[in-house]
């Protein structure tokens, strides 16, 4: 289980999107790892993650800040908003946004709480009020789409990438109690399909990916 706070700050979803978009042939690199203090004032908000894009002619650079903006930009670049119609795009956005809401609820009620007693107290309401309803509605939609491992149609989308991420968070909190192949087969099938994409399983097994969560147990207890 990789520490989700570290994942968020270091852009694990953006890294996963790049792996998907390039069939595992490219990885996101941190060009400011050694000189962040020097370059921080030149960035839009002085925070990471930050994605720098350069035009094909090399003359224009665009700095994209904020995790959500980076992820949506990459998802659009790699065609992960359905078949290009407004209908499929809004479906992808709807479920991706719902999952992002759950991610932030887990962070705010549990992951970012340093007091373990408060964290333990928050766990029950977090599961009953946020995680359980999310599971119910997402499982229903995925079943209605044929339980084929995708939110929209039969191809990977941005919504699929986000749910794969939140499955790890839910299992970090509760093991297989809430989400497993047996209990929520349609949700679980998304993870199975994600791992079939070129480079994704290898990325998850890499030392780079694992290193994102090296302080996981000390901070979150899982």
Residues of the chain with CATH 3.40.30.10: 4-77
The pLDDT averaged over each successive group of 10 residues in the chain (222 residues) is: 45 88 67 65 72 76 83 94 94 97 92 87 96 98 98 97 93 91 96 93 85 53 47
Predicted local distance difference test score (pLDDT) of residue 222: 45
Is there a contact between 211 and 2 (Cβ–Cβ < 8 Å)? no
From the CB of residue 74, how many other CB atoms can be counted at a distance below 10 Å?
25
Q: Which of 110, 128, 113, 117 has the alpha carbon at shortest distance from 178?
A: 128
pLDDT at 187: 98
One of 3.40.50.10320, 1.10.1040.50, 3.30.70.980, 1.20.1050.10 is the CATH number of 86-197, namely 1.20.1050.10
Interatomic CA distance for residues 50 and 70, integer angstroms: 8
At residue 3, the pLDDT reads: 43
The whole-angstrom separation of Cα 11 and Cα 86 is 27
Neighbours of 122 (CB within 10 A): 16
pLDDT of residue 6: 43
Q: Any idea which residue has 């670049």 for tokens?
A: 77
The tally of CA atoms less than 13 A away on the side-chain side of residue 2 is 23
pTM of the model: 0.84
The dihedral region occupied by 64, where left means phi > 0, alpha psi between -120 and 50, and beta the remainder, is beta
> Three-state SS for 63?
strand
Q: Which residues neighbour 219 within 8 Å (Cβ) at sequence distance 6 or greater?
A: 3, 5, 111
Domain range 4-77, CATH class: alpha beta
**Contact 106/167 with Cβ under 8 angstroms?**
no
């Amino acid at each position: 289980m990789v520490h989700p706070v570290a994942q968020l700050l270091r852009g694990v979803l953006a890294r996963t999107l790049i792996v998907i978009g390039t069939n595992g042939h490219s990885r996101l690199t941190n060009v400011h790892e050694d000189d962040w203090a020097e370059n921080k004032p030149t960035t839009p908000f002085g925070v990471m993650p930050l994605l720098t894009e350069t035009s094909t002619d090399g003359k224009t650079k665009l700095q994209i800040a904020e995790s959500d903006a980076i992820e949506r930009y990459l998802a659009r670049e790699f065609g992960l908003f359905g078949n290009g119609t407004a209908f499929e795009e809004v479906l992808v956005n709807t479920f991706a946004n719902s999952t992002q809401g759950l991610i932030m609820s887990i962070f705010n009620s549990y992951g970012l709480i340093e007091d373990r007693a408060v964290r333990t107290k928050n766990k029950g309401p977090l599961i009953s009020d946020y995680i359980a309803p999310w599971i119910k509605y997402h499982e229903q939609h995925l079943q209605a789409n044929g339980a084929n491992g995708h939110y929209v149609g039969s191809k990977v989308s941005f919504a699929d990438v986000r749910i794969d991420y939140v499955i790890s968070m839910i299992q970090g909190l509760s093991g297989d109690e809430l989400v497993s192949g047996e209990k929520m087969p349609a949700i679980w099938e998304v993870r199975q399909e994600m791992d079939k994409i070129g480079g994704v399983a290898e990325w998850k097994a890499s030392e780079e990916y694992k290193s994102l969560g090296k302080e996981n147990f000390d901070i979150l207890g899982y």
